[in-house]
Structure 1
Amino acid sequence: MPQNEYLLISRGQWDESASKEAVQGAIDRFYTWYEQGLSQGKLKRGSRLENRGKLVSKAGITDGPFAEAKELVGGYWFVVAGTLEEAAAIAAENPCLEFGLMLEVRPLEAARASASAVTNETPPAWRAAEA
């Protein structure tokens, strides 16, 4: 079965009712899981994200605005799997899920962007015209 790449986006915040020690244990188990996934070829390198950044648009470059706290992105990694379901199953093994974090699993689009294709960036008015 051909292997595909999927983006894992880490979202959320730690469960505030958990102890810092318990969360640290999950973090330590995460790094073990992560390193094993890298060595097995199931994961590709990613990174945690810092709390700072810039928003770049046609209006210029500004500090934020950023997503609401409930939608914070903490980091990203890549999964190599045959299907989206397999990628989600690999992501479900992440120990940090026990303490409030969520992982969004997204297939990477192989095709080049096209204004005529319906994608996440397509405005609703364009979608209605296609129907």
Structure 2
Amino acid sequence: MKYMLLMQFSATGTDFPGIDTWTQDEVRAHVGFMREVNEKLVADGEWVDAQGLGGPQQARIVRADEGGAPVVTEGPFAETKEFLAGFWIVDLDSRQRAVELAAHISTAPGPGGRPLNMPIEVHPVMSAPSQEL
């Protein structure tokens, strides 16, 4: 079954200081950890996709107005407490494996090399209903 793992960060910076305040070595360690996770997923045949996302300053929320025209709200969003920083789509044998993988990703190093223990959401990827419906 496929799962989507969502990496969340606090928009308020209360979880840890923003990555723009980290030293180059801290950023290298964090990115290196993520690369190792991805390489292992590929080697184990569990990889589907993974991407880091731009920060909330680059994000947009789009809704249609009553006439169907787009209404765009630019980030950062005052009402948002967390933002989506990246995701993985993995093809795993069990939900337990998804939970284990999410826990491991949560330990990515941050400032001072300490594990961030950031929240990772685990969502099963649902397949589309059959054409017969």
TM-score normalised per structure 2:
0.66
Q: What RMSD over aligned residues (CA atoms) do the two structures have, in Å?
A: 2.8
Q: Distance in 2 between matches of 1:67 and 1:102?
A: 20
Unaligned runs of 5+ in 2: 110-114
Inter-CA distance 36–53: structure 2 relative to 1 (3 Å threshold): same
Deviation at 1:101, TM superposition (A): 2.5
- Contact 1:34–1:43, Cα closer than 8 Å, also in 2: yes
User: Which structure shows the bigger proportion of residues in helix conformation?
Assistant: 1
The aligned counterpart of 2:9 is: 12
1:40 aligns with 2:72: no
Aligned residue pair count: 109
- Three-state SS of the structure 2 residue aligned to 1:96 is coil
- Contact 1:6–1:108, Cα closer than 8 Å, also in 2: yes
The aligned counterpart of 1:124 is: none
- Contact 2:4–2:88, Cα closer than 8 Å, also in 1: yes
The aligned counterpart of 2:104 is: 93
- Three-state SS of the structure 2 residue aligned to 1:12 is strand
After superposing the two structures, state which structure 1 stretch, 56-65 or 28-37, moved more: 56-65
Unaligned runs of 5+ in 1: 113-131
Using the aligned pairs only, state the percent identity: 20
Deviations 1:78-103 (A, max 9, x none): 12112222111122222427225321
Q: Distance in 2 between matches of 1:15 and 1:80?
A: 30
Deviation at 1:40, TM superposition (A): 1.7
Q: Distance in 1 between matches of 2:78 and 2:3?
A: 22
